[in-house]
Amino acid sequence: MQIRPLRLGHLLLPSNVLMAPLAGYTCYPFRMLAYEMGAGLCFTEMVSANALKYQDRATKRLLFTTEEEPIKAVQLLGGIPAVMEQMAASELLAEFSVLDINMGCPVPNVFKSGEGSALMLDRKRAAAIIRGCKKSGKIVTVKCRTGIQEDEMFTAEFARLCEAAGADMITIHGRSRSMMYDGRPYEREMELAKAAVSIPVIANGGIFSVEAAERMLSQTGADGVMIARYGLEHPFIFKELTGKACEKSPLEVVTEQIDLANRYYEETFVLAYIKKLASYMMKGRKGTKQYKERLHGSGSLAELREAVELIFGEGTG
């Protein structure tokens, strides 16, 4: 697999292996872990432009970052060009140099509201949103799908629209909206999109191993790959792909995530986040099933640490 720095606007990303924005997971601590492991770029969780407009407290928490984060990238969801333009240029996003526009979310309530993948059906509005966000001076990227229905895909055409509107990069989830998160990604659609534009194209979807990442790049000719759920299950995928040195054990990783999250978030958030992350990371590990109930029943950080030690300590795995 060809791992290399990736030019994105005025930035040079250290690698072309990216971490996807994942609701409920890609908070500040996890992004810092992914960067440490070798990810070239990590995005915040999906942030609603409408919620941001009304200063929603929970939404603002999604934007938490510090000076320690190497590159700050936010993903914005919205379907109203004026609101997207306003929020892209707002002080709330001032710290972020990269803004990704969500044009791929397949969830029914998002689609029905004219946001996410629904924008792929409204080319005029999609282009207006990209142009409006570009006025912020930020690097603007787009994450989309191969189309809406499996029998009618238009990936290359939509990629050209994004480039013409000013997008600096496009990430393609290789499934249609109707496929949701299942089924083999359409590598051919991503290959056609790559051939249709000159901006970087990132391939995403169905990457659950080093071999799958290598095959994805080989089949699509994409400029890089974006890891999603497998990054939660096996954060070490980034160092395995990039060759970055990191000798930490799973126990050290989870313990450091607890410490970092506890430094910046309230205890209830830390408990919820670590339980979700640990649940992903314990998949496939032998001898951990008996501790699952203890993990999810943890009501304090002390109990959480004890459960994590039992799951990821010596003698398990």
Q: Tell me the one-letter amino acid at 162.
A: C
Same-domain pairing of 179 and 307: no
**What pLDDT, on a 0 to 100 scale, did the predictor assign at position 205?**
96
Tell me, yes or no, whether 235 and 257 share the same domain.
no
CA atoms within 13 A on the CB side of 246: 22
Please give the distance of CA 112 from its chain centroid, rounded to a whole number: 22
pTM: 0.95
69 belongs to a structural domain:
yes
User: What tokens does 5 get?
Assistant: 């720095």
Distances (CA, A) of 88 to 52, 83, 129, 297: 10, 8, 10, 40
Please tell me the predicted confidence (pLDDT) of residue 253: 97
Same domain, 153 and 26: yes
Run means of pLDDT, 10 residues per run, the chain, 317 residues: 88 97 96 98 96 84 96 98 97 97 97 97 98 98 96 96 98 96 95 98 96 95 97 96 92 98 97 97 83 93 96 70
pLDDT digits (tens, 9 = 90+) for 162-218: 999 999 999 999 999 999 999 999 999 999 999 999 999 999 999 999 999 999 999
Asked if 288 and 230 sit in the same domain, the reply is no
47 located within any domain: yes
Which of 222, 242, 262 is the last residue in one of the domains? Answer: 242
- 221 shares its domain with 265: no
117 and 235 both lie in a single domain = yes
Whether residues 154 and 47 share a domain: the answer is: yes
Provide the residue type at 61 as one letter.
Answer: R
Domain limits for position 291: 250-312
Q: Are residues 86 and 153 in the same domain?
A: yes
Q: Which alpha helices (DSSP H) does 6-72 contain, by range?
A: 28-37, 49-53, 57-61
Residues 131-140 pLDDT 10s = 999 999 999 9
* 227 and 262 assigned to the same domain: no
CB 148 within 8 A of CB 120: yes
The catalytic position among 27, 42, 105, 162 is 105
105 is annotated as an active-site residue? yes
The answer to whether 40 and 14 have CB atoms below 8 angstroms apart is yes
